[in-house]
Structure 1
């Protein structure tokens, strides 16, 4: 594989992208900083196919990233390969309002191959290539210039290793017949809705006790206000107001701006400054949350009930057994909320009752809930038995 030096020239980048556009896949990674900003600061982009690899400096004034962005979000003929790519995809979405497609995430693929729920990149490289990744530059300041050679070498290694792992992983998936299992998951992480960051939905990320529509309405308005403040100032949300303070303001709203001086977590200056005035305006504009927006109740309280909760626990035990038997990460088969919904009587809209998940796990889960399957201990080992066979 040919390793280019750091690409700092628009023409060189365009030529690279022209060549990569002929490849069946490219591996992509980014380095960024986001500790002190709302928007992640893109500091480096790494890309590779089976023949060549490069790192691109996006911080250089005047460099034209458009050929690279076109390759990532507008070229449907090239598969984009990431490892745990959620934050990388978010950055690309922020730049283009699109997500890379089609895409493949090796961390999710590893779940189908029995390598755990969230295998880290270093462990992935070790298990597939027998290479120990040097983590010396992992926590470097990627925004500082000039970049050192060791930093660039470390960063490019992320995609050169991935370019060797992906074909091996793909071959294993074909051998096991599990490639189709991943299609739904890959489409899910490629969904632009996951990265849109709608300010009107920001309240859903804040934990708050209770379900009063007026409290949740104030939380929605406050969370939207904080989102816009953080974006405008390019500061982390918590640097504007922390979640717990936001929840407290929604539950116990101040009657006038001067009361903000007594709110824990706010500066006393907010009692008379502009940002405090904007916070109060958000409270004044708040309306009780409509029934269509109210969050669903926890199925365990009271819809699931005590017996239903026990059934859900049995389903989770069945999931562990089945995941062990077929050597796949349990989270790829089913999520806890789906098991609880099944135990509560829901049948429609559950992915475990569709497609490969139904074949591998869902039909047994349904049999357990509906009394056709039971647990038994045979020769000291936990087994599943058919109740019809037991009865006969």
Structure 2
């Protein structure tokens, strides 16, 4: 299968594809040494044909394909869409219109959380995919026949998976479940990382406001540097280095040499000079300008018995409805429910609240209990007088 390497051929295919209700889409890219993914191949299929598009070809412009992505009348079907869409957001500045993610659909149809494409091909199409070309240099040209066959399989079997899952979603009346999940994928904020918000991605806890202030400016600096130089964040500074810099705040080149996580000699680099300047600004901040620390909660631990009880309920509800537990509520959301009856979490909104959230609050406050039976965990009403004892 020869890939499309000219704009005219691509435009002709996209014109044909625009007549169909949906197309399946996948990409191959490289990202090991860059911040931004480097697009190496695009795979697209309609009900009648499947093609490879070579974005590295010297005589091709991808405008016709971008127009197809923006066409609201054609559903763009992906599997595990986030990284593919991130590429197109970078290239076009917009999220493709009318997207559908079969991994999301699979999770609400009982195939488990984050079902792989291979597992769905096996379960739905009864086919075993050859995985030997998964780790390959997709920038090398020409593509081998084995590479082409592997790449096309990512969109050809996806057609059957999409049709089957769409039917299952409709028959179980869970379309709103899927739509709720797709809302996140359809938001451009999902793919555009603002340097000022980079600190929020880091799972670090501090007890002192000035440490948190330092983390915010350091994370912003690293994110901007990674974007500007197109290299992974970890190549600019690893997470553990950020944490040590935020707490120790070295203000001279020599002070860097006393840090365990920082490479020897780093304090003399131009990057260290920029960091020192930022940390001096943090040290000069008055207390009134420091970020507020979250109030320390005094009550049941979210990792204690109450949280465990809610997790048992979650597992029971997930098994009862044949859906991945993580789609209903994450572990962090369970923690939030223990701490706050009005937590701003998906588990207390929409279909999730009806399915689980209301039961979780009732269980938390002793209005229902759980019993183990041969049929599994069941909820039972609790006498209000007994609950108060």
Question: Normalising to structure 2: TM-score of the pair?
Answer: 0.91
Please report how far the alpha carbon of residue 365 of structure 1 lies from its aligned counterpart in structure 2 after TM superposition: 2.0
2:45 to 32, 35, 48: 48
Q: CA deviation at 1:45?
A: 0.8
Q: How do residues 113-128 of structure 1 correspond to structure 2 at under 5 angstroms? A: 113-128=109-124
Instruction: Tell me the SS of whatever aligns to 2:161.
Output: helix
Contact between 1:304 and 1:343, CA under 8 Å: does it hold in 2? Answer: no
SS in 2 for 1:339: helix
Identify which of 346, 352, 358 aligns with 1:351. Answer: 346
Is there any run of 5+ residues in structure 1 with no aligned partner, and where? none
- Which residues of 2 match residues 317-332 of structure 1 at below 5 A? 317-332=312-327
Q: Show the counterpart of 1:376.
A: 371
Task: State the match for 1:314 in structure 2.
Answer: 309
Comparing 219-228 and 244-253, the one that deviates more: 219-228
Is 1:189 aligned to residue 185 of structure 2?
yes
User: Does residue 32 of structure 1 match 2:29?
Assistant: yes
The number of residue pairs the alignment matches comes to 384
Contact 1:226/1:237 (<8 A) preserved = yes
Q: Hey, what does 2:140 align to over in structure 1?
A: 144
SS at 2:256 equivalent:
helix
Q: Please give the residue correspondences for 1:1-392 in structure 2 after superposition, counting only pairs within 5 Å.
A: 5-72=2-69, 74-286=70-282, 296=294, 302-306=297-301, 309-347=304-342, 349-378=344-373, 382-388=377-383
Describe the superposition over 1:80-117 as per-residue Cα deviations: whole angstroms up to 9, x where unpaired.
11111111111111112211232111111111111111
Deviates more, 1:207-216 or 1:131-140: 207-216
* CA contact 2:302–2:339 (8 Å) conserved in 1: no
Deviation for aligned residue 1:24: 1.3
Q: By how many angstroms is 1:233 displaced? A: 2.3
Q: What SS class does the counterpart of residue 157 from structure 1 fall into?
A: helix
Quick one: distance in 1 between partners of 2:261 and 2:348? Answer: 46
Q: Describe the shift of the 1:292–1:184 C-alpha distance in structure 2 as closer, same or farther (beyond 3 A).
A: farther
Q: Distance in 2 between matches of 1:181 and 1:269?
A: 53
Say if 2:367 and 2:384, in contact at 8 Å, map to a contact too: no
d(CA) in 1 for partners of 2:206 and 2:51? 51
**Residues 22 and 235 (structure 1), Cα distance of their counterparts in 2 relative to 1, 3 Å cut:** same
Distance 1:351 1:239, change over 3 A: closer
More displaced, 83-92 or 263-272?
263-272
From the superposition, tell whether residues 288 and 103 of structure 1 become closer, same or farther in structure 2 (CA, over 3 Å). Answer: farther
Residues 300, 338 of structure 2: 8 Å contact kept: no
Tell whether the 8 Å contact from 1:20 to 1:26 is kept in structure 2 after alignment. yes
